[in-house]
Chain A
Amino acid sequence: MKKLTKYLLSLVLAVGFFSCDEKFDEINTNLVDPTTLNPLFLLNQGILDMRYRDGGSSLQDLSYNFGIVQQIITPFGSSLAGANYNQLNLSNSQRIWQNTYRNVLKNTVDAVEKSKVNPDNTNLYHSARIWKAYAYMVLTDTYGDIPYFEGAKGFIEQIVSPKYDSQETIYVDLLKELEEATAGLDPNKASSTSEILYGGDPLKWKKFGYSLMLRAAMRLTKASPSKAETYVTKAVAGGLISSNAENAVLRNTSVFNNYIGVHLGAREKANYYLTEPFVNHLKTNEDPRLESIAIRHVGATNGPSQTISRITRDPDLQIGMPMGHDDVSINSVLAENGVVSLWDYSQANIYTVLKVDSPQFFLTYSQTQLLLAEAAVRGWVQGGAATYYEEGIKANMEQMAFYDLDATVSEQAAATYIANHPLENEMALEQINTEYWISSFLDGSELFANFRRSGYPTLEANPYTGSEITGNFIRSMPYPDSETVVNRSNLQEAISRQGPNNLDRRVWWDQP
């Protein structure tokens, strides 16, 4: 009996050891992953992600942005349909939305919040604010009204169904943000050279911030000319990017790739072509950049026969693919175009501008100079429009060498081109913005935005017979279906403010 009691007692003691939740906090602590991070790392990631995390994300540029401005097109439909047929392709029209919010803004906004509270990190804080403005500008330019004030706050403020803000108010805030952030950058304060865009240099960030302000201001030439002028003036006074060395550029590597290059170098290698309007424009104007940009696999009859031995970069042999065809109807124009198959048209050069480690430009000296040229034409800045214009062209010619030495445009060739294309007063806006079009090659969202704003270059409407749009060109991207599904009432409010959610809808600054 005593023995029994002993057994029982020890059992009861054993029970005592189960003291409920001892050490539970320890067990529920993740020993591997950090719960916070240096905001610098986050900003770096935000910058990197702006140019996509994979080939799939780049499909919005390929399917829409490049096609709308008629530089790169595919004749193929189905999952690649888009600007080539002027048709809705929801899986590709939502990619900038997804990538920018889910990746770029997630990390950038976190970097802003984390650096805001640290007085030693003001330069990082202001840099992150500028980057945030850059990302939001791409979003609103692409989609119109978007969640801005409540955007990217799923964790920070637990806002999971953010309200949409009108583009007008977004631009007011973007300009305010850029003004504050540029003013806040201070070369006398600490910064980290491990920042990937400008090595943490506050002065370069300042220049980038003002150049972005110039871009944002110029976006408003139709919608709010006075505000445009005000901020152009502020931007110029603040100091702009003054050489290609100060370009905002992503220096891709063999590890972190140029995903448009990855996509066009592999999965979509045989599917995308330079367009006839683009190639012909460069050809007609004897633009030396054509040799940097284009290749043609002469005589290729299918994808696999696009072999290296067929490649020519000779500008005279480049043939752009005419707009308005699918992969069957294109066969009816092959002979008149002088090609043997659709695989025989010119393509963006994956050995120069679109190598897997080719750099990608966010904002360039060339673009800035061309915007200044237009501002000068409008009388908003001092200096001759022609000077800015010429400098803008020259800068872009120089920029080619950054892609690959093989893409270098000689000074002589650049000078010749500039000499042959002087800025003419009556045509100034068209000339400037057509140059901007060439200069922004591969910068999809900027190409699309400036084309809508300026109306240049003068392009023919895509003649595809199955077009779904009522106007001549696609004016914005529809909102992703996921918003209809999970953020319906806020989306509805934005739609009722702007008009039907389709490819014809104009964003606020895009006034007829």
Chain B
Amino acid sequence: MKNKVLLLFLTMLWYGQIYAQNNSITGTVRDASEEPIPGTSIMISGTSQGTVSDIDGKFTLKAAPNSTLIFSFLGYESQSINIQNRTTINVTLNVNDIGLEEVVVTALGIKREAKTLGFSTTTLDGELISENRTPNFADALQGKIAGVNISSMSTGPGGTSKIRIRGQSSFSGQNNPLVVINGVPMDNSNYSLGGNFGNRQLNNSDGGDGLLSINPDDIETLTVLKGATAGALYGSRAKDGVIMITTKSKNASKGLGVEINSNFTTDTPLDFTDFQYEYGQGEGGVRPTSSYPTSGVWSFGERFEPGMTQILFDNEEWPYEPVSGRIKQFYNTGVNWTNTLTVANSGDNGGFSLSFANTDNKSIVPNSKLNRKTINLGFSQNITPKLVASGNANYSHEENQNPPQVNAQDFSTATVIMTLANSMPFEALRNNITYPNGDEIVMARFLVRNNPYYSTSKRFDNVKRDRLIGNLSLNYQLTPWLYAMGRLSMDFYVRDNDYNTPNGYAPIPPAPAGFVNGSFTQDTRRFRETNHDFLIGANRAFGDFNIDLTLGGNQRFVRMDYNSVAVKDFVIPDLYTVMNGRVKDPLYSLSEKKINSLYGLGEFSYKEWLFLNLTARNDWFSTLAPANRSIMYPSVATSFVFSQAFQNLPEWLYFGKLRMAYAEVGDDNVSPYSNALFYAVDNNLFPNPDGLPSPLGRINASTVPNTNLKPLRVQETEIGMELRLFDEKINLDFAYYRKITNDQILATQISDASSFTNQLVNIGRSMNKGLEFLVSGSPVRTNNFRWDASVNATYNTSEVLQLGVSEADTMITVSSGGGRILRQVVGKPIGQLYTFTYLRDDQGRMVFDENSGRPLRNDEPQNMGSVLPKYFGGVSNTFTYKGLSLYALIDFKLGHKIIAGRNQNFLRHGLHKNTLNGRDQGYVIGDGVNPNGEINTTRSLIQPFYETTNVLGINEDWVSNAGFWKLRQVSLSYDFSKHLPDKLFIKKLRLSGVANNVLILKKWTQNMDPENVSVTSDNANGMDFWPSLPPTRSLGFNLNVKF
């Protein structure tokens, strides 16, 4: 540590000592349109001397009369001019319109020329994100970026977006990339199912993630740093890649600009079910003939015949006929409307961008909606020519009302709608919600399968979040070759969540006399993350060599306070307050964590075609054991622009670059205090035999703590090549990477007989490797017509190399339930799905129980393959004819498995077409043998027969290819700008028709869209069981007007 400080100090001195004097030269730097370019670096070749142009593009420096000046500014072609005894030199810099000098924002917000990078990045323009959007904008990135796998959750508009870059690297459930806004990390913890925070009481909604706070209209660019090398300067947090968002901070062109963007879409729920509508509701082959008995969620009744009637739970006689279109009958059309007003200015001394936006998302689920208001301010101001202050502040206020209950029974409309008897008229449900006293009217003997109209009208769940993410930085250009930057940033939010179990909810017991039953929970979380960081950068050229050094440090502090009160039973009905509750159960928790880091970056270049980047970062984690707290991550990357190195290359090879990189990063990957066992004292007292209230206390953990956790380490090697051919008609970019993750920290499932359900262990090694291709280009370019195409494809595979300490540990279980088991297995890709299978004899015939006639199972669960896609990518085409442009994106994921387990529910409820077998005779004789090897002749009752697979956890029938091809996005835009009269105050007008999630071109799963999931954890991958909300297709328009 001390040595590092000394080194830094010496470096500074070394740079500081050389300074000389010469003749005075003045001049102005302008661009092609005669606008001055402030901040241009003007260096005297071969020395460390130089200056920067001021706000008017003017500069003054002293130099020897025959020296050469190098003018450079990011985004422009550099120029070398010999002074030749002149005292005035005016320069015009040309924009690098061919893109070779493309600037990329890299880690810590450092801007770099793309060609110098030795690793893979992808940058998307803000327009591509805002025009055809999704409520959580990240979902709209699906299929657009090689190596990035995005799954949108079917959990309503406020839901979480699951992003995985270069596969699942660790065995833990959350492998989320780091999200960085304007150079500063933001907390993207999610409140999803299987996410970072759980709920105290019965509540199965997806409470959203951090990205939800971002208004896509504020995004200028979005850059994905995929590999460890790219993110190495972010150290521990970069193991899963980095998503860097740059928000607008000034007007694109000079002067004041006003922009209005209006985006309106509607969501139509999609139905992928193909149920049987031959036999109606009932059980045991009998239709309901008196109220309640067998109605509700069973479709094991009689064959529909004209004129038949049924008596339902409301005691009314209804026609006994199929009720189709269940999804359309219950779910609404969702409506999303976002309006953004942006006022921006850009002047000589800087600029600002201020936006206000309002977003309303009405979910397809009744009474469920999200409103988000955001204010975004970005500015950059030259205080003096050398001192620049810049900053961003993003404030958002989100109100998520009744995010839908998913992946559960109670109050989940998805579960009820998808298992509802096939002759249940929705009118009966609509008309019979509560009794006059407010108690729930029960519609099925599974009391937790509520009338969906009850769930959506009596239960509430409110999430409110106020969030401020901001940073302020000062950048001081000490000398033309040396700058220092200090930055303060904060991500702060307060999240309130309250939810109830309504009075009179049938599955809960009555309250004691004088009270009504029900429960209410009120949660408040206060989150704060602060980052203090500084950077010192120096740049110096020595003839053909250039050295760029950056040193910096970061101190990150995270704190979350959690206050919650849960109460049960109320004095006054329908008054949901904690004071009104009878039994009160308060909770408070506090979690704090600190990470200190020091880092350095060195870039060495030779003649603009050979680049070497070295970085080193040291992190110290408060969450880990003292001996394991400090860890150093090095990275090295090279870039070789061979098209510039060799002069005699063929003309069609416009640009060519080879890159190679190696990096190590790591992560503590544990929550604070994971090293100790904690206890909790019950808030309420239990009477001793004399009635004396006595205390209760318990071990407050289900995970065995580990005091010796080490940070996990990722070692990643990457090689890649970029080619631009035939006048940029074809651009190729491909990357190969290999990533080894060591010392993973993970909660493995352990025997209940240990008294704990999980153990936190520091084991295991896994490897991810893959290829990423991006082929893009403009095959046709004429004056009026242009065709741009882009194909990205990723091949990603993984292998578990080692688990546990001994050779014998070849398998760990990360989660299991209902015979759906997810494991890590040595020698196989990450995420192996297992399930029980039917018992079969040597000839492959199924074996049935002699007494019951029901199928038997193998004792050991069998392997079904990996849940992670091997191939994914997207194909996009844009056709532009004059002002009209048509964009279409097809995306795919292939090569992975899912247990489409909701079919298990459809089967046991009599909705699945497989249950038609045996209905006419009233029994099933399984096709196979009995355990003695004789042909099975035992008759099994219908319902128990189709219940068997659920009871025994046999899911083999539902194991399916999880792949798909989808027409993801289509947009048709027209730019009216050129039709606008010159004098009109409107400068630009662009209208687009947009469509998202348009069509499934190919899928393999029965009765569901394979992407239709609601749990974000990687430990739930492929383990579908309860139906999710139906997926939606959205259609709408986007209007962009600039004044």
Contact = CB atoms under 8 A, between A and B. Distances in A.
B264 interface: no
Contacts of B944: 77, 81, 85, 87, 326, 466
B756 A155 contact: yes
B110 to A, nearest CB: 17
A216 to B, nearest CB: 20
Interface in A191-210: 193-200
Interface in A97-136: 97-98, 101-103, 105-107, 109-110
Contact of A28 (B445, B508, B675): B675
B136 to A, nearest CB: 32
A21 B759 contact: no
Nearest to A21: B620
B941 A326 contact: yes
B699 A1 contact: no
Contact of A87 (B442, B597, B852): B852
A27 B555 CA distance: 14
Contacts of B704: 154-155, 158, 160
B650 interface: no
Nearest to B569: A254
Interface in B621-643: 621-623, 626, 629-630
A37 interface: yes
Contact of A18 (B598, B690, B908, B943): B598
Given A81-B944, A88-B952, A199-B688, A161 B588 contact: no
Contacts of A109: 755
B816 A485 contact: yes
B688 A151 contact: no
B560 to A, nearest CB: 12
A35 B484 CA distance: 45
Interface in B658-715: 672-673, 675-682, 684, 686-690, 692, 694-700, 702, 704-705
B753 A484 contact: no
Contacts of A103: 698
A487 interface: yes
A152 B753 contact: yes
A100 B677 CA distance: 20
B593 interface: yes
A76 B688 CA distance: 39
B601 to A, nearest CB: 15
Contact of A11 (B448, B534, B695): B534
B506 interface: yes
Contacts of B12: 8, 11-12
Contact of A146 (B291, B690, B753): B753
Given A102-B752, A483-B751, A37 B1 contact: no
Contact of A30 (B294, B597, B678, B851): B678
Nearest to A200: B688
Contacts of B442: 303-304
A109 B754 CA distance: 11
A293 B1026 CA distance: 38
B16 A154 contact: no
B751 A328 contact: no
A27 B622 contact: yes
Interface string A43-55: 0110010000000
Size class of the contact patch on chain B = 35 or more
Contact of B678 (A12, A35, A341): A35
Contact of A302 (B290, B598, B705, B756): B290
A12 B750 CA distance: 49
Interface string A3-26: 011011101101110111101110
Q: Of residues B448, B536, B697, B860, which shows the largest number of chain A Cβ atoms within 10 Å of its Cβ? A: B697
B51 to A, nearest CB: 15
A41 interface: yes
Given A196-B694, A326-B284, A466-B944, A89 B951 contact: yes
A487 B676 contact: no
Contacts of B853: 466
A482 B695 contact: no
Contacts of A21: 596, 620, 622, 626, 629-630
A466 B9 contact: no
A97 B630 contact: no
A400 B883 CA distance: 87
A103 B508 CA distance: 23
Contacts of B753: 97, 101, 146-147, 150-152, 162, 483, 487
Size class of the contact patch on chain A = 35 or more
Interface stretch (A228-236, A265-273, A310-318): A265-273
A161 B622 contact: no
A222 interface: no
B679 A36 contact: yes
B880 interface: no
Contact of B699 (A79, A106, A162, A481): A106
B688 A193 contact: yes
Contact of B700 (A33, A302, A468): A33
B583 interface: yes
B696 to A, nearest CB: 5
B951 A81 contact: yes
Contacts of B886: none
B427 interface: no
B158 interface: no
Contacts of A265: 509-510
A327 B294 contact: yes
B819 interface: yes
B594 interface: yes
B19 interface: yes
A486 interface: yes
Contact of B682 (A45, A356, A490): A45
8 contacts: A18-B598, A44-B696, A44-B697, A98-B752, A155-B756, A199-B688, A266-B447, A326-B944
Interface of B: 1, 5, 8-9, 12-13, 16, 19, 283-286, 290-294, 313, 441-442, 445-448, 476, 478-479, 484, 506-510, 512, 534, 536, 553, 555, 582-583, 588-590, 592-594, 596-598, 620-623, 626, 629-630, 672-673, 675-682, 684, 686-690, 692, 694-700, 702, 704-705, 748-757, 759, 813, 816, 818-819, 821, 834, 836, 849, 851-854, 859-861, 908, 940-941, 943-944, 947, 950-953
Interface of A: 1, 4-5, 7-9, 11-12, 14-16, 18-21, 23-25, 27-38, 40-42, 44-45, 48, 76-79, 81, 85, 87-91, 97-98, 101-103, 105-107, 109-110, 146-147, 150-155, 158-162, 193-200, 251, 253-257, 261-262, 265-268, 270-271, 301-305, 326-329, 331, 341-342, 356-357, 465-470, 480-488, 490, 501
Given A18-B553, A486-B751, 8 more contacts: A4-B479, A9-B9, A24-B629, A38-B695, A44-B696, A78-B947, A79-B446, A150-B753
